[in-house]
Amino acid sequence: MDGDIKMNNQDFSLHESDQVTINQATKDLQGNQFDHFYAIILSGGAGTRLWPLSRELSPKQILRLFGTDSLIRQTITRLTKLVKEERIHIVTGQRLFDEIRNHLLTEFPPCRQVQYILEPAARNTAPAVALAAWQIAKQDPQAILGVFPSDHFITDDQPLLDAVRRAAIAAKDGWLVTFGLQPERPETGFGYIERGEPLSPELCLFRAARFIEKPDLEIAKGLVAAGRFFWNSGMFVFSAHTLLEEVERFLPELSEALRTLDRYSPDERVQFAQQEFERIPPVSLDYGVMEKSERVAMIPVSLQWKDVGSLPALAEFHPKDLADNVTIGHIVQEGCRDSLLYSDSRLIAAIGLENMMVIDTPDATLVCPKERAQEVSKIVARLKEEKAPESVAQRYSHRPWGFYLELEKGSSYQVKHIEVHPGKRLSEQLHRHRSEHWIILQGTAKVTIDGSEKIVQPNESLFIPANARHRLENVGKIPVHLIEVQNGEYLGEDDIVRFTDDFGR
């Protein structure tokens, strides 16, 4: 169980008879009786709060900064303990889809069979979850859905998994279940849920009395002291049928948009879904449904949990020195105190900084007081107004076969450093608007151009004309490194026609 949870100075823990229910839930999830459970992972986000480490096309859930792997991979690994990977559905936008999939396909076998649901337009979490519920319910009218963010850090899975099993039982009875996290401190950055009357002692299930938006510090202190308020985790379990019923009641425009999609064939649906969803006002699932429904229940959970919501949170994952500094990367500092210094590659030399952050990446550097970290989003907003590329993507981008690093870019040319892992190969492809010149730096590659094969060694080069069908494969034992020089009227990553691909793209 998730430990003994103290509420109003009383212990609430499962007794031996109650554990029978939990054990049965576990058995049901693993057996035929619970073949209707699906996990939904929300993986949107604009990459603003952790800029310049995160960007629009490299949000925090795919960064390898928190623990040994990215947050979205940790989430998937956790959920495979509950459900088969083909029953895991990742909800993301069209713009972010390729980056998420490329990240997950890179040496991560659990992601070979995960499913993707593409949001036609970004409209916050209520439309995203309702779309997933509508789509899954078409295949399985009895579907029970677990909804999880992709960017939470959890060190001990078991309390959450046990709570999800209990929530799934309650969801079969029509409850919309959310999870209240035992608060560790007064926190102004989280919403709160008030625990109401008990609904099922054996499931540790309570009515959710009310939701409270992010409070100021004094109110937060009072909520924690009261003992019946919990952090809102943003995780839910409910049946698809119940969720869609409540969407019909409280968000009729969203429900009408889903009904409208039913009128189109699958091919037409792709074409018309965007215009239908763009008419829907953005709304969160909490505000749009959970705060209004009378069918909302809560399960308290005690977790080692972090919502990695700002740059100072990086300090929680790395050791501090005697002056409370956290230094990551190539750092030389003298006389600094309580500061966060991060370098992606270059040397940072700092003198006398106090309560400061210096975050350095290959194309952008942020310097600000730690207490003003939330204002980073204002910088990102200004960069977007200026259409600055630094708001959109990193120069470094993962691919299932390796990575590329953008070295230089002009109006009609681009230079990249590419690495291809041993045994991997790029898709068979062509480009309509650009030619490419490859210079091999390390390793042995087999290159095919319009059906003609050639083994290429270090210090050799090849020219690939526009519209030439080509492919590169690493046939050696070490990574292939090459410089790619692109020339053409258009250099976007979407100028690619794939014919065959090992990664199903």
* pLDDT value at 42 more than 80: yes
Residue bearing tokens 């009261």: 226
Mean pLDDT in residue range 488-501: 90
DSSP state for residue 368 in the 8-state scheme: E
Residue 20 CB neighbours (<10 A) = 12
Mean pLDDT in residue range 324-341: 97
Mean pLDDT in residue range 432-438: 96
- Please name every residue paired with 301 in a beta bridge, in sequence order, or none if there are none: 181
* pLDDT value at 349 more than 80: yes
* pLDDT value at 6 more than 80: no
Judge whether 113 lies within some domain: yes
Residue 440 makes CB contacts below 8 A (sequence gap 6+) with 456, 457, 458, 459, 460, 461, 480, 481, 482
Of 135, 152, 8, 130, the closest CA to residue 79 belongs to: 152
**pTM, 2 dp:** 0.81
Q: How confident is the model at residue 344 (pLDDT cuts 50, 70, 90)?
A: confident
Mean pLDDT in residue range 329-344: 96
196 and 290 both lie in a single domain = yes
Mean pLDDT in residue range 485-495: 91
Mean pLDDT in residue range 491-495: 86
What is the residue range of 349's domain? 311-381
Mean pLDDT in residue range 185-192: 84
60 and 156 both lie in a single domain = yes
Q: How confident is the model at residue 8 (pLDDT cuts 50, 70, 90)?
A: very low
Q: How confident is the model at residue 126 (pLDDT cuts 50, 70, 90)?
A: very high
20 and 110 both lie in a single domain = yes
Q: How confident is the model at residue 415 (pLDDT cuts 50, 70, 90)?
A: very high
The confidence score (pLDDT) of residue 34 equals 61
322 and 374 both lie in a single domain = yes
Please state, for a pLDDT cut of 90, what percent of the chain lies above it: 61
Judge whether 386 lies within some domain: no
Residue 425's CATH number: 2.60.120.10
Mean pLDDT in residue range 175-186: 91
The confidence score (pLDDT) of residue 33 equals 43
* pLDDT value at 109 more than 50: yes
Domain count, the chain: 3
CA gap 170, 176 in Å, rounded: 8
410 and 483 both lie in a single domain = yes
Helices of type H across 265-375: 266-277, 285
62 and 40 both lie in a single domain = yes
The whole-chain average pLDDT of the chain stands at: 88
Judge whether 499 lies within some domain: no
**Helix (H), strand (E) at residue 99:** helix 94-105
327 and 351 both lie in a single domain = yes
The confidence score (pLDDT) of residue 272 equals 75
Lowest mean pLDDT among 12-26, 273-287, 399-413: 12-26
Mean pLDDT in residue range 259-275: 77
The confidence score (pLDDT) of residue 30 equals 47
Question: Which of 289, 307, 325 is a domain's end point?
Answer: 307
| Mean pLDDT comparison of 35-44, 98-107, 154-163, 170-179, highest-scoring range | 170-179
286 and 144 both lie in a single domain = yes
Judge whether 503 lies within some domain: no
More confident residue, 314 or 422: 422
Judge whether 388 lies within some domain: no
147 and 281 both lie in a single domain = yes
Burial of 58: CB neighbours in 10 Å, binned 0-12, 13-18, 19+: buried
268 and 320 both lie in a single domain = no
330 and 428 both lie in a single domain = no
Lowest mean pLDDT among 21-30, 389-398, 463-472, 487-496: 21-30
Mean pLDDT in residue range 188-193: 86
Contact 235, 178 (CB under 8 A): yes
340 and 352 both lie in a single domain = yes
Mean pLDDT in residue range 307-317: 83
Mean pLDDT in residue range 177-202: 90
Judge whether 389 lies within some domain: no
Please state, for a pLDDT cut of 70, what percent of the chain lies above it: 91
Judge whether 430 lies within some domain: yes
CA gap 98, 459 in Å, rounded: 32
Question: Which of 307, 337, 359 is a domain's end point?
Answer: 307
Question: Which of 252, 273, 307 is a domain's end point?
Answer: 307
Judge whether 395 lies within some domain: no
* pLDDT value at 39 more than 80: yes
Which tens digits make up the pLDDT trace of 216-246?
888 989 888 888 999 999 999 999 999 999 9
The confidence score (pLDDT) of residue 464 equals 97
